[in-house]
Structure 1
């Protein structure tokens, strides 16, 4: 059976969803001996970097499901999973889903006190973790027992696994959490159907260039990784999931594993773009695929200049230097990016353009009262889609506060142009009203500064208000070789809108360690604002 036929068969299966992709593929005998998942750590007798066939993944998952079943885990049980390796995270998700349990995947970079509070709010029946996780949680109460070590779950006989649970479309199949940049992360609930809706859409389309062999530089516990795993299993794609998402690790892995596509967040591209890419062997990469926050033009341009892709010419399809970058905007709650735009060295639509909407999404620009705003007017992004999460686990108040006449209000400030392209300006909580219709958008300001200052690898704009006065500081992280003593104030001021430039207090070069990051690599602007307000109060 051809891959195209397999994709069509899966796309037409009404019972298929995020909780039963592996069992469905195995039951139909689709590509059982094809290389499927690869991990960067040893797992259950398989050495790191050895590709696992579909039948291997199934055996490992059934073994872990048998162990979990023997420990009393069953359908509808919320189980917290905190693992340092991508292998343990992915296999725990697949095994718990097979049992009909609800894996709650937690980023191991969360502070242990925050992770413990998060687990208590989940009211999880148990915690699955590794030795590192046990040590971090040792002095913190989770109100849930620590079950067997993740590494020990693969010792059971796969034949002892119970029959796979039959999911209903609305069954909760996973809980992932938001970035937690303003406090304790929110627990986002995904259903069997919502977490697969975007994949089903892709299966009905031709397989995109660059998706034959994908490197995932996404945090393993993130919803985007679950989508990537199920997409790989559904489309006979090879996927390597990294346990560590630094730029140097990603570059080394590209040279070693030779992927055709790389998945990552905006923080990934920032980290990659500050390296000397001209000295690296990146020719295998045809596609950089972003999700989460949209990426900066300065970073995209550096990435599309490397790699290679096939293009159609009068002489046929030929490979030429330069790659593609798919940008957009997504979140855990959205379940998948609802927008897409493809950049190459020949394209020039930037200015934080997140593209047009996917066919499965219905985004609108909303005013304060939920009214739809006209083209060109800035408002909050509201969107409808089959990919939307069910809401927040054990938090109906926040769930319903974010829903407006059927639309999920994302907290992003956007506008749409007359051609149907959407542009992202900032997070609502990070923007500052300057009065008389003017607004300071920190993300758009960062975009313009990076374009104006090519020797700056990344920057963060911190805007705080005290006594009706707005003060803006610009924190610059320099590219290798840039002069830290150079005064870039005039260039920064010239890049900003006049009203924003008038609030500029100082431009300062900082070390990477001075920028507080959340577990997924997002800058914690809330923490920076609190720090700067405290400093102002003390002065």
Structure 2
């Protein structure tokens, strides 16, 4: 069956959603011996990196579902999955979804103390944990939530797939947790599939037939990637906790045509001399979550290759395509998109235009809609939006405005309808005279102006009624850390922002605290003293 035919058949199924793509392919006998998912660790009798067919994947899922049913897991039961391997996260999700239960995927990088508090708040009926995380939780207070035994069931004893309704809860994933305890975000059968259904109406993107995923396995983006692959006949290799070096090694060995990741992924890759790596198989870099920095995008689109239509027919050109956007766990999918090639010039934290399924506005503090060029909070309405926060109706209602979701992102749009992201609301600081300091935009400018800086973190706060800014530089390989780059960095900033700079410091990577999805925890940096930030 062709990929187009497969997508057409699935698109016609009105019951299809995030909880039943695999079972639907099996039920309709749709190319079930075609390769689908691969993992970077062995799974049962299968070696690492073997592309499992739909039939093999279904057998693995049925075995786990049978074991879960034997343990008494039923529809609507929230069950935590806390494991390092992407295989454990993805197969746990698929098995629990088959039962109509609610998999609550927990990032394995979350420390045991915060993980225990998060689990206790969920009120889950059990925790599926690997050996490492069972040890981490052994003495934790989980409010009576039991650790479930290792799953070993007979696939033939699996219950029939649960018949999902569009509004059924299908997964709980969590926010990045950069400002405290991560928030538990509830997705529905329909919401987590809405963007995939939209993609069925479009030609399959170049590079989307064989994809390497460097996304956090416990994130909603991974669940979308899994169902997108299962629903479009693509092959997807999921990495568990990839470093930049591992992603590059996997590209060279597995030869994907596309790579999915977050902004932190591209920052890690851009530290390497990419021209010396064998990356010609890659046509597509696909970003979600925070938008990416120009300095990192330009390094990536300079390598790889892409097809392009010319007068002489389709030909392969050097240089790849980078699809940027802006999304979040709550948004369920990137709500904007922008395609970069080596020839692109639209940067400055432009995230592109909204997808056709998105209705968004830029509003001021009082909720009044703002016009072009005016910076305000992005609010958005879309079928991809999560249902809200699990066991937290207060936060759910506080993040709603006239039926829109308040993203906490500060943006503006131009007269052509392109949107630009400047900062998170919690990180921006008011300056005298009505000006405003945007830390993300400042980082963008420093990276664009200073080629020896691989990554940059701007920390702004009020000290004795004055705004002070500390700029932390992570240098590219070979750059001299003893060089004073203060003048170069300050010159890249807007004058009002430059006047607030207290120090420019070179720091080690370990000095930058990261959340479990790789986002910088600026709230912790704002609490540190100048000496702790690496003052020179």
TM-score range, shorter chain: over 0.9
- The answer to whether the 8 Å contact 1:370/1:405 transfers is no
Secondary structure of the residue that 1:476 maps to in structure 2? Answer: strand
Residue in 2 that maps onto 1:508 = 505
1:339-488 correspondence to structure 2 within 5 Å: 339-488=336-485
Residue in 1 that maps onto 2:149 = 148
Residue in 2 that maps onto 1:499 = 496
Give ranges in structure 2 of 5+ residues lacking alignment: none
Secondary structure of the residue that 2:18 maps to in structure 1? Answer: coil
Deviation digits for residues 321-353 of structure 1 (CA, Å, limit 9, x no counterpart): 100000000000000000000000011000000
TM-score, normalised to structure 2, is 0.98
Deviation digits for residues 208-236 of structure 1 (CA, Å, limit 9, x no counterpart): 10101000000100000000000000000
Deviation digits for residues 392-429 of structure 1 (CA, Å, limit 9, x no counterpart): 00000000000000110000000010101000000000
- The answer to whether the 8 Å contact 1:464/1:532 transfers is no
1:46-445 correspondence to structure 2 within 5 Å: 46-143=46-143, 144-149=145-150, 153=151, 155-445=152-442
- Number of residue equivalences: 532
Alignment partners' CA distance in 2, 1:18 and 1:258 = 28
1:275/1:157 CA distance change after superposition, 3 Å: same
Deviation digits for residues 11-57 of structure 1 (CA, Å, limit 9, x no counterpart): 12111100011011111111111110000101111111111000000
Secondary structure of the residue that 1:294 maps to in structure 2? Answer: coil
Alignment partners' CA distance in 2, 1:147 and 1:187 = 21
Alignment partners' CA distance in 2, 1:84 and 1:117 = 19
Give ranges in structure 1 of 5+ residues lacking alignment: none
Q: Give the deviation of 1:5 after TM superposition.
A: 1.6
Alignment partners' CA distance in 2, 1:234 and 1:371 = 40
Q: Give the deviation of 1:179 after TM superposition.
A: 0.2
Give the root-mean-square deviation of aligned CA atoms.
Answer: 1.0
TM-score, normalised to structure 1, is 0.98
Residue in 2 that maps onto 1:36 = 36
Q: 4+ runs of 1 displaced by more than 6 Å?
A: 533-536
Alignment partners' CA distance in 1, 2:351 and 2:373 = 15
Q: Give the deviation of 1:445 after TM superposition.
A: 0.1
Q: Give the deviation of 1:377 after TM superposition.
A: 0.4
Deviation digits for residues 155-209 of structure 1 (CA, Å, limit 9, x no counterpart): 3211100010011111100000000001100000000000000000001111110
Residue in 2 that maps onto 1:8 = 8
Alignment partners' CA distance in 2, 1:206 and 1:450 = 35
Secondary structure of the residue that 1:214 maps to in structure 2? Answer: strand
Alignment partners' CA distance in 1, 2:199 and 2:479 = 43
- The answer to whether the 8 Å contact 1:288/1:326 transfers is yes
